[in-house]
Amino acid sequence: MEFNLSAVSFVSEKNFTPIETGKVYDVLIIGGGPAGLTAAVYCMRKGVDTAIIIKSIGGQVAETSSVENYLGYKYINGVELVDKFKEQVIQFSIGYEEGQGVSLIEDGAVKNIILEDGRTVQSRTLIIASGKSWKKLGIPGEKKLTGHGVAYCTTCDAPLFKEKKVVIVGGGNSGVEAAIDLAGIASGVTIIQLLDELTADQILLDKLGSFGNVEMIFNSRVTEIKGDDRVEEVTVENIGTGTVSDVKTDGIFIEIGLDPNSGFAKGVVETNSSGEIIVDSRCATNRPGIFAAGDVTSVPFKQIIIAGGEGAKAALSACEYILKKS
Amino acid sequence: MALFDPKIQNQLRDILKTMKDEVRIIFFTQEIECPMCRETGLFVDEIASLSDKLSVKKYNFVLDKEIAEKYGVDKIPAIVLLDKNEKDYGVKFYGLPGGYDINSFLGAIIEISGKREELPEDILSRIKKIDKDIHIQVFVGLGCPHCPGAVAVAHRLAMENDRIKGDMIDAANFVHLSQKYSVTGVPKIIFNDKSEFTGAQPLTAFLDIIENLQ
């Protein structure tokens, strides 16, 4: 039995204060993953008036079972690492809000940040570090049947498909990892891959090969998910031949990568074709006073240590901006 | 072998030090036909051994049928948390709250001990106004990072209003129940068998549903 204990949430001395709507912060950080939390520590150490708005603490790290490439820890569980990050942030009297998303930002000399619950927070500078979330297929049936057989979180939902048939969309690392998790639980696993081969790391492919209940459908995509109140079948189209067939299944896990959480900044800052916020080497966006860091940005390679470094850089750039303005 | 390694034991000890008053853990078990009962029994014993403010009372689900009925326990393994005056708030855990849900279990212990963060006035008054019996069942998976948040909301509602009861249910352990409610994603939250949603939602979303229940 494993225990993913978030010890810090219970015991740490909490110096942070609730976020205030009636004042103008120097720096407002959106996001509580490695980029946002690192930025918070840097800003507080610089002594600027800072607030952080966190939708889900740790972001993707909190959903990672093991981290083995963040220096200082040969092995650490994702929740534990997030706990350590948070512990370092809440020693400061930072303005802090957890469990709240941002719906809109408005640019200006003072930036308005409109929260999902309708409150408006104001700040001279912004650091957008809102990360990424699971990419959706955007096909008929997907939204309606989410939670009714359509799944995005394998560690959450795999145990519910014991001795059932499942389809996995995506043949990269996350798809093959999901297949490995599910092959030991489900009766049959079918991977549907757009390309003509799986693109996962060899070590994962070797592991996948040890299961006898995994099938692959290549050069194909899912075009519809069917079922009344739960997933019954999916429509699969071969992109080479155009042939369409229905595959009976109890569930479909969508593992086609991640989308940047940049929707609330749309039209304010410039993004690339994948929706990532374009930043320069100082983490500046095209708008003065708005910086961005981590997975939500165009910086290549999405890694915890890279996001942390970018968060530090964004914080220092924001502090420099405030200093120059005042 | 102990369920908790020494490092986690120490962390748990520190967390439990923040309890205000005593909490009684009521545990319902059975020796046969309950694969998870033994381990859940070890779990409550180990947790309780880490704080002077925790005590455990064990009942046999079949032999102590009347007591199970008194607490509204209808399946096992079941954990009910009572405050220092043995008041039952309707806070239950069905299955072993391991994985991520160790956090919702500890959170509930600390809140029942009397240490609760205050809720905003408008939210609290909405909760107090609820005047019908509400049963919230939160199906969780122990590998689900978003689940403890949903469990904590259901339990907090139960603590603030006697008409509300909240259950955590380990979906993988209660397979038939999960099938009955078509649980294919967690957290799945069922309100009085009438309304439901899947996924983590804020407390206000729970209230919106409850206020609209007929």
Q: Is the pLDDT of residue B214 over 80?
A: no
CA–CA gap between residue A8 and residue B80 (Å, rounded): 25
Average pLDDT over every residue of B185-193: 94
Q: What is the pLDDT of residue A105?
A: 97
* A43-52, A129-138, B130-139, B198-207, range with the lowest pLDDT: B198-207
CA–CA gap between residue A275 and residue A259 (Å, rounded): 7
Give contacts of B46 with chain A, Cβ < 8 Å: none
Number of A–B residue contacts, CB under 8 Å: 108
CA–CA gap between residue B154 and residue B164 (Å, rounded): 9
**Which B-chain residues 28-57 have CB contacts (< 8 A) with chain A?**
39, 43
Cis peptide before B187 (omega within 30 of 0): yes
Size of chain A in residues = 326
pLDDT tens-digit readout, A89-107: 988 999 999 888 999 999 9
Q: What is the pLDDT of residue A131?
A: 97
Q: Kindly report the nearest CA distance between residue A251 and chain B, in angstroms.
A: 8
Using the beta-carbon criterion (under 8 Å), do A2 and B99 form an inter-chain contact?
A: yes
pLDDT tens-digit readout, A266-307: 999 999 999 999 999 999 999 999 999 999 999 998 899 999
Alpha helices, H only, chain A: 7-11, 34-46, 78-89, 154-157, 173-183, 202-209, 304-325
The pTM of this model reads 0.80
Residue B1: pLDDT band with limits 50, 70, 90: low
**Which A-chain residues 201-230 have CB contacts (< 8 A) with chain B?**
229-230
Q: Calculate helix-pair angle for B121-129, B203-212, nearest 10 degrees.
A: 30
CA–CA gap between residue A67 and residue B85 (Å, rounded): 44
Note whether B106 and B126 are same-domain residues: no
Last residue of a domain, one of B112, B134, B163: B112
Note whether B131 and B100 are same-domain residues: no
Note whether B87 and B128 are same-domain residues: no
Distances (CA, A) of A286 to A271, A283, A310, B59: 9, 10, 17, 65
Give contacts of A251 with chain B, Cβ < 8 Å: 184
Average pLDDT over every residue of B132-150: 93
Average pLDDT over every residue of B192-206: 88
B11 CB near a chain A CB, below 8 Å? yes
Q: Tell which residue, A62, A212, A122, A135, has the closest CA to residue B200.
A: A62
CA–CA gap between residue A50 and residue A45 (Å, rounded): 10
CA–CA gap between residue A183 and residue B171 (Å, rounded): 19
Q: Which of A66-75, A88-97, B42-51 ranks highest by mean pLDDT?
A: B42-51
A158 CB near a chain B CB, below 8 Å? yes
pLDDT tens-digit readout, B63-110: 999 999 999 999 999 999 999 999 999 999 999 999 999 999 999 999
Size of chain B in residues = 214
* Sign of the dihedral defined by the CA atoms of residues B108, B114, B115, B116, in that order: positive
User: Could you tell me which CATH class the domain A150-254 is placed in?
Assistant: alpha beta
CA–CA gap between residue A309 and residue A287 (Å, rounded): 21
Identify whether the C-beta of residue A121 lies closer than 8 Å to the C-beta of residue A53.
yes
* A22-31, A135-144, B20-29, B143-152, range with the lowest pLDDT: B143-152
CA–CA gap between residue A104 and residue A30 (Å, rounded): 11
CATH code for A7-134+258-325?
3.50.50.60
Note whether B105 and B126 are same-domain residues: no
Q: What are the residue ranges spanned by the domains of chain A?
A: 7-134+258-325, 150-254
Note whether B160 and B185 are same-domain residues: yes
> Please, what is the average pLDDT of chain A?
93
* Residue A323, phi then psi, degrees to nearest 5: -60, -45
Using the beta-carbon criterion (under 8 Å), do B184 and A3 form an inter-chain contact?
A: no
Q: What is the pLDDT of residue A155?
A: 80
Q: Tell which residue, A284, A286, A285, A288, has the closest CA to residue A316.
A: A284
Note whether B98 and B157 are same-domain residues: no
Identify whether the C-beta of residue A299 lies closer than 8 Å to the C-beta of residue A306.
yes
Q: Tell which residue, B82, B95, B111, has the closest CA to residue B168.
A: B95
Task: Give the rounded percent of residues in chain A with a pLDDT score beyond 70.
Answer: 99
Note whether B126 and B108 are same-domain residues: no
Instruction: Identify the residue with better confidence: A80 or A171.
Output: A171
Note whether B36 and B132 are same-domain residues: no
Contacts 24+ apart (CB under 8 A), A194-202: A194/A219, A194/A220, A194/A221, A194/A239, A195/A171, A195/A219, A197/A171, A198/A171, A198/A172, A199/A171, A199/A172, A199/A173, A200/A171, A200/A172, A200/A173, A200/A175, A200/A176, A201/A173
Note whether B45 and B80 are same-domain residues: yes
Q: Kindly report the nearest CA distance between residue B204 and chain A, in angstroms.
A: 10
Does residue B1 fall inside a structural domain?
no
Last residue of a domain, one of B73, B94, B112: B112
Does residue B203 fall inside a structural domain?
yes
Q: Which structural domain, as residue segments, surrounds residue B81?
A: 6-112
Note whether B100 and B128 are same-domain residues: no
Note whether B33 and B87 are same-domain residues: yes
Q: Least CA distance to B185: which residue of chain A?
A: A147
Q: What angle do CA B3, B110, A89 make, to 5 degrees?
A: 90
Output the DSSP codes for B105-171. Answer: HHHHHHHHTT--PPPPHHHHHHHHH--S-EEEEEEE-TT-TTHHHHHHHHHHHHHH-TTEEEEEEET
Average pLDDT over every residue of A60-73: 86
Note whether B130 and B207 are same-domain residues: yes
Residue A14: pLDDT band with limits 50, 70, 90: low
Q: Could you give the 3-state DSSP secondary structure of residue B38?
A: helix
B200: domain CATH number is 3.40.30.10
**H/E element, B41:** helix B37-48
Residue B165: pLDDT band with limits 50, 70, 90: very high
Q: Is the pLDDT of residue A13 over 70?
A: no
Here the ipTM equals: 0.85
First to last CA, chain A: 55
Q: What is the pLDDT of residue A222?
A: 97
Q: What is the pLDDT of residue A12?
A: 61
Q: Kindly report the nearest CA distance between residue A270 and chain B, in angstroms.
A: 31
- Mutation test of the interface with chain B: which of A2, A8, A10, A232, choosing the one with the most B Cβ atoms within 10 A? A10
* Residue listed under structure tokens 């929706």: A275
Q: Kindly report the nearest CA distance between residue B70 and chain A, in angstroms.
A: 31
Q: What is the pLDDT of residue A100?
A: 87
Output b/e per residue, A69-89; b: 16+ Cβ within 10 A: ebeeeeebbbbbbbbebbbbb
Residue type, A90: I
Does residue B90 fall inside a structural domain?
yes
A62 CB near a chain B CB, below 8 Å? yes
Q: Tell which residue, A57, A1, A4, has the closest CA to residue A29.
A: A57
Number of structural domains found in chain B: 2
Q: Kindly report the nearest CA distance between residue A1 and chain B, in angstroms.
A: 7
Last residue of a domain, one of B112, B137, B161: B112
Using the beta-carbon criterion (under 8 Å), do A159 and B198 form an inter-chain contact?
A: no
